[in-house]
Structure 1
């Protein structure tokens, strides 16, 4: 197969390895004496719900929220849709519906929480004194800041009545959380800002992040962070004593599946890391340098090789109005670093959507930048304007998959030689 077909095959293997049916089957909880209620949030939550009700042999009910257009058919679990990455009123209503679904349960009942990436935006729940518009402004400031996802979610969970374990604290029933991790390091408390899994972070940690990244938050948000009301419940709180959580899919497992595809095609796969963070264009420069080293010196790996990595990079917005996401930004920066070289890259989000458009990501090779110039575009200027999508669309190198039904974050693969 040609290099782009190989990259597509590796991406599909990575997505298939994160199939929620496989992970849920391996972590089905014990049946309760009472009722089973399913709740959930994230860009793959609907598919997780469909998988769970297929595997669960007892009566159940429930409600989950996913991004607009990401729903699927279910039998007993209601699927709600809301906005992502910027919250909306539908998400606000969905959060209330999730709390209502579990607030009247007893210790004999069971709550199964299906959590994956995207849940933070899909579950807006501003505390007293803040409005939905304030939470939207907070989210926009975080998305433009270049802060890593763990830092963003530390702020989010201290400006919420549902994140930071508060959703689990709203019921007397034990909560079993089944989590598809899109977080570097797979900390379950950071996936979707941990609505059912608390962590030790404090509001003081959140304030330090606000200062570190110069976040211009609305005054009601700052007032709340400076009050004791922002404190989230801690992991040793007795309310969580009977709860449990399981990571059922992650970037590491997906990259191993992609590596096997490369190996079978005759390439040496090298997984650089499944937990890479940092400014997208800067991470791209490091990846490109490694790829060139392999190409020209056969070190640290021998060609033909495939370099693989996952995690979640970030983009600091330098100019408003640009189109694209962090994987498009990575691919464009990478293309500029490998001009004229025999290297081909795919950078894409495993949920099928990268940033502001409908593509999962983009391809890039040694001729991409030249092709953009040939149609009258300046690739360096596009990168400076955070406008990668415009360039890749103009030369036919956007990568489109539609919603994949899972989310283990960024997938990056570079074929060298």
Structure 2
């Protein structure tokens, strides 16, 4: 986010002041925009102060003012703003419960928007009567801008009743105080039809689709045909991996549904239902499941989060191939046990195959590439 703000600052040739919030370690130098850092994926007190700083920045604007909102993934955690009697601890506990539930990002954000004083378009309402133009770097499947960072400047049609239904459907165990808040009707976000938001503009400027298309073009330029399965895949990382492994095996053994050589690309945002106490993230878990299901298939793969961080450690993801299982066993490692413990990081750390590019300055969700020669 800070890199996005720095780029905007370089391109903007008029008067400018503002505030940007990014995760710890991701700051970039800005001359006219104040850069704040906060915790991700579980919010902290610095994030609470950052939310207050954003509200202070848009206070007292007039009709002649223009607010440009730069929004990318991660804002749901970076901008805690507990409503009513709720506390930061309540919101942090809610975030932890959502992350552990295995629910897709659309479900998590629908709930977050109902338990916030800034998400779901509330920040845009605070800007009135100024016009708001929102520029979105999308990290959500389908590129619905209202879902990115839980839409601080974009209203959503989902209401409190829908959020309650989603909690029940996914069996999410929320803190008692949060459940009590959701049971009421106080503090609901604006609807998309709210006249306050009528002249606001929203533009998606980067997305998973664009990143996959760029990767496909690069592969083609190198003489390797490329196919894009989807830019909006969701589901359990280990289950999505088994589907990819089945496709890779079919290609390798029967040249269908694609002929070799080919690189199979996909994006979206998988989820991990936490069952163990291991280290990792959704992309490393995808890869560990892939090597289990694809043992012996002649493939090479990369799965990584485009922001440079996948889950709990400092890696973006990892590399794997059809021999990874054999190599793990040679090290005395039980891959199935590590997967059961959500400890994919340990598997690829032992192999020396972690992918650690550092912060990339962007976030357009997961990137997966499987090469079959």
After TM superposition, the score normalised by the length of structure 2 is 0.99
- Deviation of 1:270 after TM superposition, in Å, equals 0.5
SS of 2:82 mapped into structure 1? coil
Shift of 1:166: 0.3
CA distance in structure 1 between the partners assigned to 2:61 and 2:188 by the alignment: 25
**Secondary structure in 1 aligned to 2:368?**
strand
Tell me if structure 2 keeps the 8 A contact 1:268–1:302.
no
8 Å contact kept, 1:203–1:230: no
The residue aligned with 1:265 is 222
1:402 aligned residue: 358
Query: Which position in structure 1 is the counterpart of 2:238?
Result: 281
Q: Does 1:64 align with 2:20?
A: yes
**Structure 2 CA distance, aligned partners of 1:203 and 1:103?**
27
Q: Does 1:314 align with 2:271?
A: yes
Alignment check: 8 A CA contact 1:224 1:230 kept = no
Q: Which of 248, 252, 259 is the aligned partner of 1:291?
A: 248
Distance in 1 of aligned mates of 2:120 and 2:271: 22
For the 8 Å contact 1:295–1:416, the answer to whether it is kept is: yes
The answer to whether residue 295 in structure 2 is matched with residue 339 in structure 1 is yes
Q: For residue 248 of structure 1, give the secondary structure of its aligned residue in structure 2.
A: strand
1:164 equivalent to 2:120? Answer yes
Instruction: Note the aligned Cα RMSD (angstroms).
Output: 0.7
Query: 1:107: which partner in 2?
Result: 63
Report what 2:260 is aligned to: 303
Question: Which residue does 1:86 correspond to in 2?
Answer: 42
**1:145 matches 2:92:** no
Q: Which string of whole-angstrom CA distances, capped at 9 and with x for unpartnered residues, describes residues 237-256 of structure 1?
A: 01101211100001111101
Structure 1: distance between partners of 2:329 and 2:348: 11
Q: CA deviation at 1:230?
A: 4.2
Q: Match for residue 330 of structure 1?
A: 286
Residues 252, 372 of structure 2: 8 Å contact kept: yes
Matches of 1:128 and 1:334, distance apart in 2: 45
Q: Secondary structure at the match of 1:228?
A: coil
Q: Report the Cα offset of residue 189 of structure 1.
A: 0.4
2: CA distance, partners of 1:327 / 1:162: 30
From 328, 342, 350, the equivalent of 1:372 is 328
Question: Given the two structures, how large is their TM-score scaled by the length of structure 1?
Answer: 0.88
SS, match of residue 369 in structure 1? helix
d(CA) in 2 for partners of 1:337, 1:123? 39
> Any unmatched runs of 5+ in structure 2?
none
User: Quick one: distance in 2 between partners of 1:272 and 1:168?
Assistant: 36
1:49–1:64 Cα contact (<8 Å) kept: yes
Task: From 149, 164, 170, give the equivalent of 1:192.
Answer: 149
> Following the alignment from structure 1 to structure 2, what is the Cα–Cα distance between the partners of residues 230 and 136?
19
Quick check: 1:358 aligned with 2:322?
Answer: no
Q: 2:164 aligns with which of 207, 220, 239?
A: 207
Q: Which has the higher contact order (CA 8 A, sep 6+)?
A: 1
Number of aligned residues: 372
- Contact 2:248 2:297 (8 Å CA) reproduced: no
Q: 3-state DSSP class of the match of 1:185?
A: helix
* Poorly superposed stretches of 4+, deviation over 6 Å: none
Query: Could you tell me which residue of structure 2 aligns to residue 29 of structure 1?
Result: none
Q: Distance in 2 between matches of 1:338 and 1:132?
A: 43
Q: Which residue of 2 aligns with 1:130?
A: 86
Q: 2:3 matched to 1:47?
A: yes
Structure 1 unmatched runs, 5+: 1-44
The question of whether the paired residues in 1 share the 8 Å contact of 2:300 and 2:322 is answered with: yes
Alignment correspondent of 1:117: 73
Per-residue CA shift, 1:270-290, capped at 9, x if unaligned?
000000000100000001111
SS at match of 2:49: helix
* Structure 1 position 242 matched with structure 2 position 196: no
CA distance in 2, matches of 1:123, 1:374: 45
CA distance in 1, matches of 2:86, 2:107: 21
Distance 2:205 2:32 in 1: 22
